[in-house]
Structure 1
Amino acid sequence: MAPTSKSRAQPPYLTKDAFPKHFASSSIRQVTYSDPTAARISSQNSSIRSIAWNSASTLVATGGPDRTLRVWNPERNNVRNSTELKGHAAMIETVAFNPAKEGELCSVSPDGVAKFWDVRTRTCINEVKGLGGAFTLTWHSNGQSLVVGNKEDVLHVLSPSQPTPISSHPQGKQTNQIAFCWSGSKIFATTGPDGKTRILDYPSFDPKYRLNYFPEDDPRTEFTLNGHTSSCLSVALQPTGRYLATGGSDAVISLWDTADWICQRTITTIAGPVRSISFTHEGSYVAGGSEEGSGIEVHHVETGDLVHAFKTAGPSPIVSWAPTKYVLAYTDLSVLRTVGLESSQK
Structure 2
Amino acid sequence: MEAFVTICKKINFNPFFLPSLGGGRAARPQCPLCPTRPLVTGHQLPWNSGLRTPGNPPPCVPPPAGRRIRASAGRAGSCRAGGSCVRAAGRGGRCRRGGAGMALSPYVQAMQELFRANTRSREFPAHGAKVHSVAWSCCGRRLASGSFDKTASVFLLEKDRLVKENNYRGHGDSVDQLCWHPSNPDLFVTASGDKTIRIWDVRTTKCIATVNTKGENINICWSPDGQTIAVGNKDDVVTFIDAKTHRSKAEEQFKFEVNEISWNNDNNMFFLTNGNGCINILSYPELKPIQSINAHPSNCICIKFDPMGKYFATGSADALVSLWDVDELVCVRCFSRLDWPVRTLSFSHDGKMLASASEDHFIDIAEVETGEKLWEVQCESPTFTVAWHPKRPLLAFACDDKDGKYDSSREAGTVKLFGLPNDS
TM-score, with length taken from structure 1:
0.84
Q: 1:204 Cα deviation (Å)? A: 1.6
Structure 2 unaligned regions, length at least 5:
1-105, 402-412
Which of 213, 218, 224 lines up with 1:130 in the alignment?
A: 213
Please report how far the alpha carbon of residue 156 of structure 1 lies from its aligned counterpart in structure 2 after TM superposition: 0.5
Give the aligned partner of residue 259 of structure 1.
327
Q: 1:31 aligns with which of 113, 122, 128?
A: 122
| 1:182-208 Cα deviation digits (max 9, x unpaired) | 11111110011x100011111121112
In structure 2, how many angstroms separate the alpha carbons of the residues matched to 1:244 and 1:108? 23
The equivalent residue for 2:362 is 295
Letter of the 1:203 counterpart: P
The one of 303, 324, 327 aligned to 2:394? 327
Retained in 1: the 8 A contact 2:156–2:163?
no
Q: 2:316 aligns with which of 238, 241, 248?
A: 248
- Hey, what does 2:44 align to over in structure 1? none
The Cα of 1:340 is off from its aligned counterpart by 2.0
Matches within 5 A, 1:39-54: 39=128, 42=129, 47-54=130-137
Structure 1, unpaired ranges of 5+: 1-13, 209-222
Q: 1:308 aligns with which of 355, 360, 375?
A: 375
The offset of 1:77, in angstroms, is 8.6
Work out whether residues 243 and 256 of structure 1, in 8 Å CA contact, stay in contact via their aligned partners in 2: yes
Match of 2:344 in 1: 276
> Higher mean Cα deviation, 111-120 or 336-345?
336-345
Match of 1:17 in 2: 109
Larger radius of gyration: 2
Per the alignment, residue 195 of structure 1 pairs with 277
Determine if contact 1:32/1:77 at 8 Å carries over to the other structure: no
1:271 deviates by: 2.6
Distance 1:145 1:344 in 2: 43
Distance 2:421 2:165 in 1: 20
Query: Structure 1, residues 129-150: CA drift from partner, whole Å, max 9, x if none?
Result: 1331211111111112111111
**For the Cα contact (< 8 Å) 2:344–2:385, is it kept in 1?**
yes
Could you tell me the TM-score, scaled by structure 2's length? 0.69
Structure 2 counterpart SS, 1:246:
strand
Closer/same/farther in 2, CA of residues 84 and 251 from structure 1, 3 Å limit: same
The aligned residue for residue 339 of structure 1 is: 418
**In 2 relative to 1, CA 113–183 (structure 1 residues): closer, same or farther, beyond 3 Å?**
same
CA separation in 2, counterparts of 1:141 and 1:288? 23
Q: Write the distance in 1 (CA, Å) between the matches of 2:198 and 2:360.
A: 34
Greater Cα shift, 223-232 or 75-84? 75-84
- Alpha-carbon displacement from aligned partner over 1:236-267 (angstroms, at most 9, x marks no partner): 11111111101111111011112211111111
Could you list the per-position Cα deviations for residues 257-289 of structure 1 after superposition, in whole angstroms to 9, with x for gaps in the alignment?
A: 122111111111113111111011111110112
Indicate conservation of the 8 Å contact 2:258/2:272, yes or no.
yes
How far apart are residue 83 of structure 1 and its match?
Answer: 1.1
Counterpart in the other structure of 1:227: 295
Residues 186-238 of structure 1 deviation map (CA, whole Å, 9 limit, x = unaligned):
1110011x100011111121112xxxxxxxxxxxxxx3221211110000111
The offset of 1:80, in angstroms, is 6.7
Matches of 1:168 and 1:16, distance apart in 2: 44
In structure 2, distance between residues paired with 1:73 and 1:28: 21
Aligned length: 307
Question: Greater shift after overlay, 157-166 or 71-80?
Answer: 71-80
- Supply the RMSD in Å over aligned alpha carbons: 1.9
Letter in 2 for 1:247: G
What is the 5 A alignment of 1:76-95? Answer: 81-95=164-178
Calculate percent identity across the aligned residue pairs. 28
Superposed displacement of residue 162, structure 1? 2.7
Do 1:185 and 1:202's aligned partners in 2 also have CA atoms closer than 8 Å? yes
Deviates more, 1:253-262 or 1:56-65: 253-262
Deviation at 1:110, TM superposition (A): 1.4
Cα distance in structure 1, aligned partners of 2:265 and 2:333: 22
Contact kept? 1:34, 1:79, Cα under 8 Å: no
